[in-house]
A and B are shown apart, each in its own frame.
Chain A
Amino acid sequence: MADDTTLTVRFFARLREELQTDTLTLPLDTPTTAGQLLSTLAQKGGPWAQLAGGQPVMIAVNQAMAKPDTPLNGGDEVAFFPPVTGG
């Protein structure tokens, strides 16, 4: 469960399948941004490396579209996903 010392990170669609992960709960020890979190996750290697810029990744923070420089706070829900294709 997310509280003010953790971040909930969610993945959707192709990213969810390729990373075989839909939700992560991560400790938030130091101030960070959505883009820094993406770089940190990319270092896990394997399919995670694509988060470093191989494919376009869209970012949402607390269910609103965000940018790499959007700051993250404890309790936030961050989501990473491919460009949207509804309709």
Chain B
Amino acid sequence: MNYSVSVQHQDFDVAEEYQALRDSGAGTGAIATFTGLVRDSGDLQGVTGLFLEHYPGMTEQVVTGLIAEASTRWDVRKARVVHRVGRLALCDQIVFVGVCSAHRGDAFAACAFIMDALKTSAPFWKKELSGEEEHWVGQRDSDLARHRDWE
């Protein structure tokens, strides 16, 4: 199985990421992608940006492990995860997950699983910025429940 994981400050281009996923062989019949963006409300209202921190080295290992786990559960021919860190503005792209499979069911499921599991197990931390206010985001029970639902 072919995969790659990038943790980076710079933005990514979904069209380029998608095109790169298309070279996964003639057995691929479905590509599912997810893109996460900076939203104006979270723990705080009127969020104007985020600061994202991660644990270099461990992050890549954890995400690679999630892709490996997905590939044992579903048909995964190629997978790509890009996650940004540093300071992000409102509406900026944060994360991209793309999965190639033979069929849509596997592509949707593997993409959703990687995203849900990433949120509760990959060492990233978000700080919301709102005017002068800064707030480290707390883990949500709903995110933990979504990850547990895959078990």
Contact = CB atoms under 8 A, between A and B. Distances in A.
How big is chain A's contact interface, by range? 10 to 19
How big is chain B's contact interface, by range? 20 to 34
A64 B121 contact: no
Interface in B41-57: 52-55, 57
Given A63-B57, A63-B61, A85-B119, A13 B136 contact: yes
Contacts of A63: 55, 57-58, 61
Q: Which of B53, B61, B119 has the most CB of A within 10 A?
A: B53
Interface of B: 36, 52-55, 57-58, 61-62, 83, 94-95, 115, 118-127, 136-139
Going nearest first, the 9 A-B pairs with the smallest beta carbon separation are A86-B124, A13-B125, A83-B139, A63-B58, A87-B119, A14-B136, A85-B137, A85-B126, A86-B122
